[in-house]
Structure 1
Amino acid sequence: MVQCVILAAGEGKRMRPLTGSRPKVMIPVANRPMLEHLINAIRDCGINEFVLVVGYHEAAVRHHFGDGSDFGVSIRYVTQKRQRGTGDAVLNVLSHVNGDFLLLNGDMILSREDIKAVLSSPSPALGICKSDHPRDFGVVTVKDGIITGFEEKSENPKSDLINAGLYLFNYDLFSHLKLITPSPRGELELTDALLPYIKAGSLHAVMLSSWADMGSPWDLLTANEVLLVSLSSCIEGEIEDGVVLKGAVQVGKGTVVKAGTYIEGPCVIGKDCRIGPHAYIRGATAIGDNCHIGHSIELKNSIVMNHSNIPHFNYVGDSVIASGCNFGAGTKIANLRHDKKCISAGGVNTRRKKFGAVIGDDVLFGINCSVNVGAVIGNRCRIAPHCFVTGVISDDSVVKR
């Protein structure tokens, strides 16, 4: 039986401030940690034995998944005590693997069909996909279904095919891992162990039909959109008279949707929330547990994590709001430049023409604040009333007029 090893030890520095209090793999997408979506998809392909390599904030992973029985699988954990690279992370599972195994990064969304395609390939195999910005990834060259070359984040990539971080290996991998040396950044890189396979012409390429990489916070919105496409309606909470639900909408137990609220699916709302009255929630929105989305709110294409409140006369579009945030009445987030060009956040091009803000945990806004496109607001910030917020705001900042 094929086992599955998932690398889930990293912090995900490019995901800050969202990873200040949680590992990257536990950031919710469509109201579930991204790692949960991955485990469920792999389980549905017939694999039920998992080894998770954990490290940064590992308690969050262990607490959520336990021994795996609640998810219909068996999970063992291996701790990577120091972040010494992906090669070192895989070496830690040496005593837990006994044959062919699926190996993948825990910070992506994959389809069941693509996982099955890799499992059906001869070992060793590597999942690849096309990218319109390959210089941001490891690039591969392929001939007749065999990987012929690999280069890491080249300014002049030799192809538009990238390493998707999904592998099928056998036990021979460990003999190659034991021979690699630290890279220029001082880490043991898993990709260095691919070179003997490439030289021997034995590394098979499997083209993936879809792939959602979670490199930066705005990538969460794309993954959220993809996952919500297949959402089915399920109402477990209370829907008052005068509420309009259009399309696929899920409402969790204990949630009350008050009169005058209009919800366009796909939209998922967690448990014990208060929605409305007279709220307008538009498609591709995920609202966590214990949230308050109140009177005269417009919310679209966004992720709102647990215990956050957007209660009075607010607009939030194309944004990621972490846990424990509170918006003062009239506070709004802009999500479109006047010139309609792609929006940058923290000096990085999001490649999105519509993008609002990334807001960390426990951020409190006063009344009538304005948040500019591409703003990144750190954890535990306090924003005084009537402030204009733009750019990157560090953790624990106090912003005044």
Structure 2
Amino acid sequence: MQAVVLSAGQGTRIRPLSASLPKPMLPVADRPLSAHAADAAVEAGADELILVVGYEAEEVRDYFGDEYAGVPVTYAVQQEQAGTADAVRSASEYLDGPFAVLNGDNLYEPEAIAELFEEGPAVGAVRVEDPTNYGVLSTEDDTVTDIVEKPDDPPTNLANAGAYAFPAEARDWLDVPESERGEHEITDVVAEVIAEYDVGVAVMDRWLDVGRPWELLAANEWKLGELDREIRGEVHDDAELRGDVVVESGAEIDAGVVVEGPALIRSGASVGPNAYIRGATLVGEDAHVGHSVEIKNSVLGRGSHVAHLSYVGDSVLGRDVNFGAGTNVANLRHDGEPVRLTVKGDRVSTGRRKFGVVVGDEAKTGINASLNAGVKLSEGATTKPGEVVTRDR
């Protein structure tokens, strides 16, 4: 089975994190986001990966190479962002039999993808409480009869999980008309398959669409929670590591540090002295957590520094961010309502009672800065010493 992994999205909803780092390469535990979809495909039995890439082609190629996890990798470049069917069509010259399509910004369980392969032709689905915000599968006798986009009256509670197993003939059905959104949709290809085949349903117990910053945090919570304790770096005798903590080779944990897992301290990172890390926290490669800093349930990108006497909770920091000494992040509203974040110009609920800030690459705060819950700092943004930041910048 060939597996096409769609990795060409520009990630506009997850900005500023994707301003200079392609969305498929954003960190989720010890690897990029799209690598988790690739892993699921390989573990499910894919014998070739076809990665559809866009502007981020070079960085994706550098990571995956010509072979990934023992499976050959082919690259197809999508020239324009013209929809999912267009993305798959860019890979059509490499398809020579039944094939699967996975969204590279979704997390899947390998067992569910294996079932998808076995059931094919099939569509992956997940049961949701409110299907009205999804493409919803209409079914009859355990076969898919239609996919209805964001229906007011959903036919089922099965949301489309962005995973498909197609027969070889579907390669010739990729040239579908534009939808009302002006895109060529993969669901229209599914409709062509439904007209010719019985299309099964592969129901997934766990799935996550990583489109917005708090979903990247959720992705790390999932994947960090799967890690087993492993200590390969340098840990001071007076440090305390509790639970499933991974310290990679080349990382340093200083005296007085307490780390409560699940947590991953990547190669080249340094922590402490007297720092406290808890919750599902990723400290990226070459990042630095200073003296008496507390990091809770957060992602620190590669090369980021959080200076002494600072607090970062439920937040996502990009690469090479520098938090000046005494920077404090608020992660809770006084009224107890879910924290809201601006996504493409609209204030949107994160659904999280606790959520801090989202910080783009190379942003910097002055000493004793205070950042309000739900604030975004764009790539390269700065704050003044002692400033209270209540609005995005």
Which category describes the TM-score, using the shorter chain as reference length? over 0.9
Structure 2 match to 1:61: 60
Structure 2 match to 1:205: 201
Amino acid at match of 1:164: A
CA apart distance, 1:201: 6.4
Q: Which moved more, 1:41-50 or 1:165-174?
A: 41-50
Structure 2 match to 1:23: 22
Correspondences of 1:224-263 after superposition (within 5 Å): 224-263=220-259
8 Å CA contact 2:95, 2:171 repeated in 1: no
8 Å CA contact 1:146, 1:201 repeated in 2: no
8 Å CA contact 2:233, 2:251 repeated in 1: yes
8 Å CA contact 2:285, 2:303 repeated in 1: yes
CA apart distance, 1:175: 2.8
Structure 1 match to 2:219: 223
RMSD of equivalent CA atoms: 1.4
Structure 1 match to 2:31: 32
2:392 paired with 1:392: yes
8 Å CA contact 2:170, 2:193 repeated in 1: no
Structure 2 match to 1:102: 100
Q: 1:177 aligns with which of 168, 174, 177?
A: 174
Structure 2 match to 1:131: 128
8 Å CA contact 2:37, 2:102 repeated in 1: no
The 1:58/1:133 distance shift into structure 2, 3 A limit, reads farther
Structure 1 match to 2:187: 191
Q: What are the ranges of 5 or more consecutive residues in structure 2 without an aligned counterpart? A: none
8 Å CA contact 1:285, 1:301 repeated in 2: yes
Q: Deviations over 1:309-342 (max 9, x none)?
A: 0121111111110001001111111111122211
Q: Deviations over 1:74-98 (max 9, x none)?
A: 1010111111111111111122111
Q: 1:326 aligns with which of 322, 326, 330?
A: 322
CA apart distance, 1:140: 1.5
Amino acid at match of 1:99: G
Structure 2 match to 1:368: 368
Distance in 1 (CA, whole Å) between partners of 2:50 and 2:357 is: 35
Distance in 1 (CA, whole Å) between partners of 2:390 and 2:144 is: 44
Structure 2 match to 1:311: 307
Structure 2 match to 1:91: 89
Q: Deviations over 1:21-67 (max 9, x none)?
A: 12211111113101112222222222231111100221110111111
Q: Deviations over 1:263-295 (max 9, x none)?
A: 000100111111100000002001111011011
SS in 1 for 2:164: strand
8 Å CA contact 1:23, 1:58 repeated in 2: no
Distance in 2 (CA, whole Å) between partners of 1:254 and 1:104 is: 34
CA apart distance, 1:374: 0.9
2:130 paired with 1:117: no
Amino acid at match of 2:306: I
Q: Which moved more, 1:199-208 or 1:111-120?
A: 199-208
The 1:48/1:19 distance shift into structure 2, 3 A limit, reads same
Q: Which moved more, 1:137-146 or 1:218-227?
A: 137-146
SS in 1 for 2:168: coil
Percent identity over paired residues: 41
CA apart distance, 1:155: 4.7
8 Å CA contact 2:138, 2:146 repeated in 1: yes
Q: Which moved more, 1:314-323 or 1:89-98?
A: 89-98
Structure 2 match to 1:397: none
Distance in 2 (CA, whole Å) between partners of 1:303 and 1:137 is: 28
Distance in 1 (CA, whole Å) between partners of 2:16 and 2:179 is: 27
Amino acid at match of 2:239: V
Distance in 2 (CA, whole Å) between partners of 1:133 and 1:62 is: 38
Structure 2 match to 1:381: 381
Distance in 2 (CA, whole Å) between partners of 1:167 and 1:105 is: 9
Q: Deviations over 1:101-154 (max 9, x none)?
A: 111110011111111111111x31000001234233211222221112322233
8 Å CA contact 2:355, 2:374 repeated in 1: yes
SS in 2 for 1:44: helix
The 1:155/1:352 distance shift into structure 2, 3 A limit, reads farther
Distance in 1 (CA, whole Å) between partners of 2:80 and 2:318 is: 27
The 1:373/1:133 distance shift into structure 2, 3 A limit, reads farther
Distance in 1 (CA, whole Å) between partners of 2:140 and 2:293 is: 53
Distance in 1 (CA, whole Å) between partners of 2:314 and 2:129 is: 22
Distance in 1 (CA, whole Å) between partners of 2:197 and 2:59 is: 41
Distance in 2 (CA, whole Å) between partners of 1:128 and 1:200 is: 20
Q: Which moved more, 1:102-111 or 1:167-176?
A: 167-176
SS in 2 for 1:339: coil
Aligned residues: 389
8 Å CA contact 2:103, 2:162 repeated in 1: yes
8 Å CA contact 2:254, 2:271 repeated in 1: yes
CA apart distance, 1:159: 3.2
Distance in 1 (CA, whole Å) between partners of 2:129 and 2:75 is: 36
SS in 1 for 2:112: helix
Distance in 1 (CA, whole Å) between partners of 2:195 and 2:2 is: 26
8 Å CA contact 1:140, 1:151 repeated in 2: yes
Distance in 2 (CA, whole Å) between partners of 1:157 and 1:215 is: 23
CA apart distance, 1:381: 0.3
Distance in 2 (CA, whole Å) between partners of 1:196 and 1:333 is: 50
Q: What are the ranges of 5 or more consecutive residues in structure 1 without an aligned counterpart? A: 394-401
Amino acid at match of 1:117: E
Distance in 2 (CA, whole Å) between partners of 1:68 and 1:336 is: 45
Distance in 1 (CA, whole Å) between partners of 2:39 and 2:185 is: 27
SS in 1 for 2:97: coil
Amino acid at match of 2:200: H
Distance in 2 (CA, whole Å) between partners of 1:281 and 1:155 is: 44
Structure 2 match to 1:269: 265
